[in-house]
Every structure is written in structure tokens, then in C-alpha cells.
Amino acid sequence: MTEQDRADGAQDAPAQSWGETTLDELVGDQDTMTRARQARAEFSRFMLHYRFAVDELLTKINILKAEFEHLHDYSPIEHVTSRVKTLESILDKARRRGIALQRSALREEMTDIAGVRVVCSFISDVYWFAEMLTGQDDIVVLEVKDYIAEPKDNGYRSLHVIVQVPVFLSESIEQMRVELQIRTAAMDFWAGLEHKIRYKYDGQIPEELVAELTQAAQTAAELDAKMEAVHDVTRRLNEQAGGRGADLSTLPLEVFTEFLDG
């Protein structure tokens, strides 16, 4: 199409429709435009607070991880991922669950707008980590779903905790909800695969695959139990050997006396 065609077409084209209202009417209605702009700005502020809440939690997680690594000689956390739901995903879930598209309703009823997933090495680490994090004074636990103690029928295992975390802004403190999913690497591997398969079949996984997946979840759980047993033995042996901290014995003593005097 040439520029001339476009110009001709534009002359003949009817006013563009915007639902029941023409775009011309909408643009002409300054109140509507102002409200729409305001709503957009408020929504991006709303989402920013969730991003801040995730950042707060990630800082806490990194501190716990670094301290644990310093005190012991392994890391209990394999990796951490986080996400804030997209607008599309929020709208989709609100429609499915019948949640009103109002700030207060979304805050109260959609508890996974912000999500943090922590993947640990061993099952004992999952509970250790959950306890350490939720034991902090500024964290409020709103809900716990222990799908490790009680796996879902399909074999899904994970510890879910909805927490409320304060976000300190320039003029207010916002209490934000975040969904924490804490699980082992084996549980995570299974959940990732199952999620991909479910997506591929649009939620309707064929029967025989469901059975295979449930069996795979059982195998993953057995692997976790075996790894935990190995971990117990190594921990015991390590304790018997008096632990293995960082080798500070080669540093000159003056370094430590100076440290104590300071």
C-alpha cells in the first residue's frame, strides 16, 4: 500500500470503533482520558510495589545463603528465581477466579502476583530455610501449604508459603504479599517438566502421560529420600572430624589481635 492509498483510505474510513464508543468520542472525553491515564499510572505503581517486595525477599534470601555458606561448608540453596505476574496473566487469572479488578481485591485475593522460588539441595534444607526466613520479625506468614508432607494427587511436591513483607517507601509502608515456593532440585525438575507438558496439552494431559508423570514424581521423591540419607551420613562424619571451616590457621596472629582490639 502506498502513502497515497493510505491517505485515500483514511479519508473514507469510518471513525475507529472502541467498544460502544468511537475513538473520537473517547479522545474528546477528557474525563475518561484523564481517568485512564491515572489508572495506568496507579497500576504501574501497584506492580512496582510487588517488584520491591520481591527485591526485599531476595536480599533476605541472599543474606541467609551467604551466612550459611560461611558457617558450614556447603550451600543449602541451589538457585533462586522470581517473577512478578504480567498484566495479561493477572487479567486472565482474575477472570477465571472471578476476582474484581480493584486494587484491594487483587491485593487480598491474588496472592501470587509476586512469586519467589527457592530450590534447595535437600528436603531438610527446605524446612530449615522456610523456618529461617519466616522467623524474621518483619515477615508475616499468611498461609502454608505443605505439598511435601501431603503431595498433590499428580505427585506435585513443594512447600508453599504466602508471606507478607513490608516495603518501605518514601511516604508509606506497604505490606505486600508474596508466594514462596520452596522445593528440592528433584521436585523442581519434575514440576518444570509437568508444567511444560500441561502447557503443551492445554491443561488436558493424556491419561497415560499422567500415570508416567505420577510415577516419575514417586521416583524423584525416592531420590530425595536417598540423597537426604547420604547427606545425614556426611554431616555426621563431618561433625566427628570436628567440622571443616575456612582455614584461618595460616594467618599471622597479629591479624586476629588487631581484629579483637578494634
3-class DSSP state of 11: helix
Nearer to ligand 0O2, 72 or 145 (CB): 145
Nearer to ligand 0O2, 37 or 195 (CB): 195
Of 84, 163, 176, 191, which one interacts with ligand 0O2 (CB under 6 A)?
Answer: 191
Nearer to ligand 0O2, 151 or 166 (CB): 151
- The enclosing H or E element of 151 equals none
Contact 82, 179 (CB under 8 A): no
Nearer to ligand 0O2, 107 or 145 (CB): 145
Q: Is 2 left (phi over 0), alpha (psi -120 to 50) or beta?
A: beta
Of 160, 183, 187, 221, which one interacts with ligand 0O2 (CB under 6 A)?
Answer: 160
- What are the grid coordinates assigned to 81, written together? 528465581
Residue 194 lies near ligand 0O2 (rule: CB under 6 A): yes
Alpha-carbon distances of 203 from 62, 192, 195, 198, 260, rounded to whole Å: 35, 14, 9, 5, 61
Cα distance from N-terminal residue to C-terminal residue, the chain = 78
Establish whether 208 is a catalytic residue: no
Residue 95 lies near ligand 0O2 (rule: CB under 6 A): no
Residue 229 CA neighbour count, 13 Å, CB half: 6
Residue 154 lies near ligand 0O2 (rule: CB under 6 A): yes
Applying CB under 6 A, which part among 134-142, 152-160, 231-239, 243-251 lies near ligand 0O2? 152-160
Residue 152 lies near ligand 0O2 (rule: CB under 6 A): yes
Residue 195 lies near ligand 0O2 (rule: CB under 6 A): yes
Q: Can you tell me the distance from the alpha carbon of 6 to that of 242, in angstroms, rounded to the nearest whole number?
A: 81
Q: How far is the CB of 203 from ligand 0O2 (least distance, A)?
A: 10
Applying CB under 6 A, which part among 13-21, 133-141, 148-156, 253-261 lies near ligand 0O2? 148-156
Q: How far is the CB of 157 from ligand 0O2 (least distance, A)?
A: 9
- What are the grid coordinates assigned to 217, written together? 514424581
Alpha-carbon distances of 225 from 35, 74, 157, 229, rounded to whole Å: 56, 19, 13, 6
Nearer to ligand 0O2, 60 or 145 (CB): 145
Q: Can you tell me the distance from the alpha carbon of 154 to that of 259, in angstroms, rounded to the nearest whole number?
A: 56
What burial letters (b/e) apply to 134-158, b meaning 16+ CB within 10 Å? eeeeebeeeeeeebbeebeeebbbb
Q: How far is the CB of 201 from ligand 0O2 (least distance, A)?
A: 13
Applying CB under 6 A, which part among 66-74, 150-158, 221-229, 253-261 lies near ligand 0O2? 150-158
Q: Can you tell me the distance from the alpha carbon of 49 to that of 261, in angstroms, rounded to the nearest whole number?
A: 44
Chain Cα centroid distance, residue 70: 25
Residue 118 lies near ligand 0O2 (rule: CB under 6 A): no
Q: How far is the CB of 111 from ligand 0O2 (least distance, A)?
A: 6
Residues found near ligand 0O2 in the complex (CB under 6 A): 112, 145, 152, 154, 156, 160, 191, 194-195
